[in-house]
Amino acid sequence: MRRAAVPERPAPRPPLAAESPVEVPGFPVRRGLAVYILRSRKALTGLGLLVLVVGLAVLAPVIAPYPSTEMHALDRFAAPGSRYLFGTDFYGRDLFSRVLFGFRTSLLVAGLSVVFAMALGSVIGVIAGYSGGTTDTAIMRAMDILFAFPVLLLAITIVVILGPGVLTTVLAIGIVYVPIFARIGRGPTLVVREQAYIEAARALGQRAWRIVARHVLPNVSTPIFVQATINLATAILFESALSFLGLGTQPPYPSLGLMVSEGRNYLELSPWPTVFPGLAIVAAVLSFNLIGDALQEILDPRLRPTWIGS
């Protein structure tokens, strides 16, 4: 007698989308982020520089040997030494103290402008991506209009209209970055809104704003924060450029860009009023650039083999 064929066991059912974490393309959900950071030379170097810059800025009132606006008329253009670590400028002001307080100004303006742009732009992008249709088209066309202007020219125009100052600089840089965060927020939202758990939330009768706040925003936040880290570096450059042109922080308050602008007129007499603020800008920008690049490589599996294990 022929033996009856044993029926094959059915293949295991693949897990539903709602049973596993949602992965937005290019930004997968991973564990052990700290391990990747500790193995990245870029991340460690950037974090070291950032801790140094932020520490100097926060502790400026304690570390600075002189008030940032105090003048020493008899010590104009003094060379770096034990009394004046970075030397003095045309008015006899201590450059080391002014660089420390200049860090505070640059980090404050850059941080506030990026937070403003991230909050407004991300919400706009998520609303556009989740709503779709006419709302999406209208919002993104408005963002395209802002993209059409050169970023520095747009910032200068806003400052000229509203007048120079710290708050105006924050607003100008923030408006420049809003379209960038809108696009970054919209892209992943188009993917997330099609997930099964979003459909389940709609079927349960949850309101749109609640779905966006509880389910969409947490799953699209990773690329937004990476973009914020990168934009912090360019925001410091924008603040320095506007201050250099006389449209940002106004004298006598210290700003790194303003110090470079003031020192360029006396390069033949003393290069220090330009050199040290310029190096401070380089250190601040480099720290955020290194951290942003490292985060991109950590969160993008296509880039991770270029550094992991090195």
Whether 40 is covered by a domain: the verdict is: no
pLDDT in tens, 260-297: 998 888 888 889 999 999 999 999 999 998 888 887 77
Whether 43 is covered by a domain: the verdict is: no
Task: Report how far residue 102's alpha carbon sits from residue 116's, in angstroms, rounded to the nearest whole number.
Answer: 21
Whether 34 is covered by a domain: the verdict is: no
* pLDDT beyond 60 at 305: no
Residues 6 or more apart whose CB falls under 8 angstroms from that of 155 comprise 172, 173, 175, 176, 238, 242
For tokens 């979003």, the residue is 198
Whether 86 is covered by a domain: the verdict is: yes
Please count the helices (runs of H) and the strands (runs of E) in the chain: 12, 0
Total tally of structural domains belonging to the chain:
1
Q: What is the pLDDT of residue 19?
A: 38
11 neighbors 259 (Cβ within 8 angstroms): no
Give the dihedral of Cα atoms 297, 300, 303, 306; nearest 10 deg. 60
The chain-wide mean pLDDT, for the chain, equals 82
Whether 93 is covered by a domain: the verdict is: yes
Whether 233 is covered by a domain: the verdict is: yes
* 301 — pLDDT class (breaks 50, 70, 90): low
The average pLDDT across 92-116 equals 93
pLDDT in tens, 24-77: 444 444 445 666 767 778 888 888 999 999 999 999 999 999 998 889 888 888
54 neighbors 107 (Cβ within 8 angstroms): yes
Distances in Å between the alpha carbon of 244 and those of 64, 233, 293, 294, 296?
23, 17, 27, 30, 31
pTM for this predicted structure:
0.79
Whether 251 is covered by a domain: the verdict is: yes
* pLDDT beyond 90 at 1: no
The average pLDDT across 164-186 equals 91
Q: What is the pLDDT of residue 303?
A: 54
Q: What is the pLDDT of residue 9?
A: 47
Q: What is the pLDDT of residue 32?
A: 53
Between these two residues, 177 and 38, which has the higher pLDDT value? 177
Give the dihedral of Cα atoms 231, 26, 298, 303; nearest 10 deg. -100
Structure tokens at 138: 């209208």
CATH of the domain at 116: 1.10.3720.10
Whether 145 is covered by a domain: the verdict is: yes
* pLDDT beyond 80 at 89: yes
- By residue range, what is the domain housing residue 200? 54-306
26 neighbors 223 (Cβ within 8 angstroms): yes
Lowest mean pLDDT among 169-173, 202-206, 270-274, 289-293: 202-206
Structure tokens at 189: 């939202």
* 21 — pLDDT class (breaks 50, 70, 90): very low
109 neighbors 166 (Cβ within 8 angstroms): yes
* pLDDT beyond 50 at 7: no
